[in-house]
Amino acid sequence: MSKYPLKLSELPMMQPPRDGWDVIEASLPERRQRLRIRSGLAAAAALFVVAVSATMFFSMRSDLLPAAPDQTALERLVTISQRMEDQLAKLRQSVSTLPSSQAILVAELEDMVAVLDQQLGQSPDSEQLWYQRVTLLTDLLGVYAMQTHDNPALMASL
Amino acid sequence: MTGYSFQIELDDMTLARARRGDRQACERIFRLFERPAYTLAYRLCQCPEAAQDVLQDAFINVFKRLHQFRGEAPFWGWLRRIVANQAVSSLRKRRPEVSLDQHTPLELGLGSDDQRRVHDAMDANELLRRLSAEDRTVVWLHDVEGYSHKEIADLVGYSESYSKSRLSRARQQMRHQLQHETALGACGTMVPQVSVT
């Protein structure tokens, strides 16, 4: 600093004497478990874009679609779900950042998947729950597909 | 040692999750910023307990108001403003401090390691600590955080020109104090010449 020979900004970072997280956490409101649609129009528009992107994505990725013919419906859903998880894992690594609006949507969808997974823990053979899971994963893949669509190199690497 | 910086980027995903009340995301934000937030609070308050309270209250406030964050400016800037506000508010609740010009000079020993002790005593934080709370706030926010006088004036509730004059006065006091300590240090390192006859 030219004004006086002190370098205040070089003073070290300090560690709080105690961990205050517990008190802060106790003040947090209860978590909302369900998707709250604040704007019906905005949500509808977002889902439309996701649906279109998902369709484009799956038209290019036939390997995600089923499955051996001798499998039961439940087994097919589980297999598809697993393949989608694998694909999502790759996409998460490839797409390092998402625009805020899509990040919010991804967070919402992942929250819903987490809730479904809890329910599947209680009812692992529920075809309906697995179907819902595949639907949510389709939406999630659609969000990432929007990112990869503008980046052919990224799409080709998947 | 790591220097101080509040300018930490927060990813959109964590922010989105925290907005939905995800505790893990909130904790991640807290862990990312607890040290710079505590450091800012401590530099202004100069009291560990008060700084801890500021840290806690500021983060409670942050998570309550997270939905108000529009994302037009970096998150760290918004958070830093809340911490600074909380610290200023805490200072106002405390009893008035003794300002720099009422302090007595540092009491330095005159032993053989005086030079190092003078350096220790001249520690920037020590000089900062000796300022009045008002002056310290202006110096830290302006010279370290990069706040403009207008921003400081908005934060503490007085005019820009008052902020400028406080800064000028505080710098002058710190400079005098530094010179004073340096002079003391120079005297302290001198070994009296004793002639033996």
Give the pLDDT score at A88: 87
- The residue of A7, A11, A108 whose CB has the most chain B CBs within 10 angstroms, and thus the best one to mutate to test that interface, is A11
Domains (range + CATH), chain B = 1-94 (1.10.1740.10), 98-189 (1.10.10.10)
Rounded to whole angstroms, the Cα distance separating A95 from A82 reads 20
Rounded to whole angstroms, the Cα distance separating B26 from B92 reads 29
Do the domain assignments include residue A22?
A: no
Average of pLDDT values for B129-153? 93
Contact between residue A20 and residue B55 where contact means Cβ atoms under 8 Å apart: yes
Give the pLDDT score at B30: 97
Greater model confidence, B194 or B28: B28
Give the pLDDT score at B1: 43
Burial group, residue B145, by CB count within 10 angstroms (0-12, 13-18, 19+) = buried
Q: Which of B20, B55, B128 sits opposite A16 (nearest CB)?
A: B55
Give the pLDDT score at A149: 63
Summary count for chain B: helices (H), strands (E): 9, 0
Chain B touched by A107 (CB under 8 Å): yes
Rounded to whole angstroms, the Cα distance separating A11 from B114 reads 22
CB-side neighbour CA atoms (13 Å) of A56:
16
**Domain total in chain A:** 1
Chain A touched by B186 (CB under 8 Å): no
Counting as low any pLDDT under 70, the low residues of chain A are 1-5, 30-69, 149-158
Whether B177 shows a pLDDT value over 70: the answer reads yes
> Are A20 and B140 inside 8 Å of each other by CB?
no
Q: Looking up tokens 């499955």, which residue turns up?
A: A67
Average of pLDDT values for B41-65? 95
Do the domain assignments include residue A64?
A: yes
Rounded to whole angstroms, the Cα distance separating B180 from A55 reads 75
Burial group, residue B28, by CB count within 10 angstroms (0-12, 13-18, 19+) = middle
Q: Looking up tokens 């995903």, which residue turns up?
A: B13
Rounded to whole angstroms, the Cα distance separating B33 from A120 reads 36
Which residues in chain A have Cβ-Cβ distances shorter than 8 Å to B30?
Answer: 21, 24
Do the domain assignments include residue A59?
A: yes
Q: Work out the minimum CA distance from B2 to partner chain A, whole angstroms.
A: 6
Q: What's chain B's average pLDDT?
A: 79
Rounded to whole angstroms, the Cα distance separating B61 from A23 reads 12
> Are B20 and A107 inside 8 Å of each other by CB?
yes
pLDDT class of B124 with cuts at 50, 70, 90: confident
Short-list B72, B77, B79, CA closest to B18: B79
Whether B185 shows a pLDDT value over 70: the answer reads no
Rounded to whole angstroms, the Cα distance separating A105 from A94 reads 18
Short-list B182, B21, B187, CA closest to A29: B21
Rounded to whole angstroms, the Cα distance separating A148 from A54 reads 11
List the domain range (segments joined by +) for residue A47. 38-157
ipTM over 0.85: no
Whether B99 shows a pLDDT value over 70: the answer reads no
Residue of A nearest to B53 (CA): A20
Cβ contacts of residue A130 below 8 Å, gap of 6+? A74, A77, A78, A81, A120
Q: Work out the minimum CA distance from B171 to partner chain A, whole angstroms.
A: 7
DSSP at A63: G
Q: Which of B5, B63, B175 sits opposite A28 (nearest CB)?
A: B63
